[in-house]
Amino acid sequence: MKYTEFEIISHFFKKNQKIDKNQIKGIGDDSALIKVPKNNILAISTDTLAEDTHFFKNINPQDLAYKAIAVNLSDLAAMGALPKWATLSITMPKANQKWLKLFSTSFFQTLNKYNINLIGGDTNRGHLSVTLSVYGLLQKNSTLLRSNAKKDDLIYVTGSLGESGAGLLLLQKKISVKNIKIRNFLIKKHLRPIPRVNEGTILNKIANAAIDISDGLISDLGHILKSSQCGANINLNKMPISKILKNNFTSKDYFNWALHSGEDYELCFTISKDQISKLNAAIKEKLIKCTCIGYITSVEKGFTLTKNKYEIVFQKKGFDHFSF
Ligand code: ADP
Ligand code: MG
């Protein structure tokens, strides 16, 4: 049986939609209608995953659905927002029922895990591409901007860095590891990054600035520095690199992946020293796992990296030409 556009929407997407109290209209009219609760701000973020650019042709539909949601939630997490709703624009070459079933099952499993409702979208024919928009809520006084880092703030990152980069190189067959468990672990880090949603909602009350690491620490921290007109000193010896990377690759490789390869989807944030006790309390309660990797300096000091007490002056003049 061949599905029409409307049958696809109804069978694979509308059927699974849930309604919440702020939702006046979901899927099925010309637009969704959402009531933003008093004293809240609506945070909106959108990201596209396109075949050959963001994923390989043979990606399985479950991984694609998961990652479309994860990368978007990571952006909301970096603003400290709690995700509530999503819209899905999907373009595909044909209406393959088996593919759509696998995609939509994984899609709703992931949305449900984060209590997000699908409220609309668009369905088209063409090269495979998935654009997801997510909508989240923030208390009025708790935004987490890139532009609010302050001199002497400490710089932290959540989780560990570089594993997603290694996973991508494994998928591309540019590197190899013998141990199949390690190989699968690293590939999973690439295909199924965990968005730091809960961490974002903790940080929005205590951190000054944040960004999610989608393009590598150097590039993404660079955005904070540029927006906040600051410099930074990063201690490479403190970088959170997992034992798996340390035991299986050279330090040149894992530092390179941690600094430059993207898609870890960890949060990089800056926090003033007088808020550290609150952060430590959250760490102690296991609400957040993070590592201090450096501190914010004045803009004149530029972006410096230290390793074994040597200083690499990395960028002095602004942050447009990141190459080293
Ligand atoms: P219109 O032609 O008015 O833009 P559509 O025919 O594109 O409307 O969509 C009809 C309804 O189905 C709308 O509410 C739209 O938001 C929803 N919709 C379309 N595609 C999807 C999808 N892939 N997932 C969820 N909702 C969808
Ligand atoms: Mg439409």
- What tens digit of pLDDT does each residue of 5-57 get? 888 888 899 888 888 899 999 999 999 999 999 999 999 999 999 999 888 88
Q: Is the pLDDT of residue 321 over 50?
A: no
Q: What is the pLDDT of residue 1?
A: 63
CA distances in angstroms from 8 to 4, 95, 99, 107, listed in the order given:
6, 8, 12, 14
**Rounded Cα–Cα distance for residues 108 and 61 (Å):** 12
**Rounded Cα–Cα distance for residues 177 and 118 (Å):** 39
Where is average pLDDT lowest: 90-94, 258-262, 314-318?
Answer: 314-318
More confident residue, 122 or 322: 122
Whole-prediction pTM: 0.92
C-alpha 7 to ligand 1 mean position (Å): 11
- CATH 3.30.930.10, applies to 153-312: no
Report the candidate in 118, 265, 129, 281 with the shortest Cα–Cα distance to residue 200: 265
The residue nearest atom 2 of ligand 1, judged by CA position, is: 30
152-206 pLDDT, tens digit per residue, is 999 999 999 999 999 999 999 999 999 999 999 999 999 999 999 999 999 999 9
Report the candidate in 223, 30, 16 with the shortest Cα–Cα distance to residue 112: 16
Mean pLDDT of 255-278: 95
Q: What is the pLDDT of residue 313?
A: 61
The residue nearest atom 3 of ligand 1, judged by CA position, is: 30
Q: Is-same-fold flag (5-139; 153-312)?
A: no
Q: What is the pLDDT of residue 147?
A: 96
Mean pLDDT of 138-164: 95
Q: Is the pLDDT of residue 317 over 70?
A: no
Q: Is the pLDDT of residue 311 over 90?
A: no
More confident residue, 70 or 323: 70
Residue 320 assigned as binding residue? no
Cβ of 90 closer than 6 Å to ligand 1, yes or no, is yes
Cβ of 123 closer than 6 Å to ligand 1, yes or no, is yes
| Longest pairwise C-alpha distance within the chain | 67
- The topology under which CATH files domain 5-139 is 60s Ribosomal Protein L30; Chain: A; (3.30.1330)
Where does the pLDDT of residue 323 fall: very low under 50, low under 70, confident under 90, or very high at 90 and above?
very low
Q: What is the pLDDT of residue 314?
A: 57
Any bridge partners for residue 51, and if so which? 55
Q: What is the pLDDT of residue 316?
A: 39
Cβ of 27 closer than 6 Å to ligand 1, yes or no, is yes
Average model confidence (pLDDT) across the chain: 92
Provide the residues around ligand 2 (an ion) whose CB is within 5 A.
122
**Rounded Cα–Cα distance for residues 189 and 185 (Å):** 6
CB 60 within 8 Å of CB 51: no
**Residue to substitute in 5, 123, 128 for testing ligand 1 pocket (most ligand atoms within 8 angstroms of CB):** 123
Domain positions in the chain are: 5-139, 153-312
Q: What is the pLDDT of residue 141?
A: 83
Cβ of 88 closer than 6 Å to ligand 1, yes or no, is yes
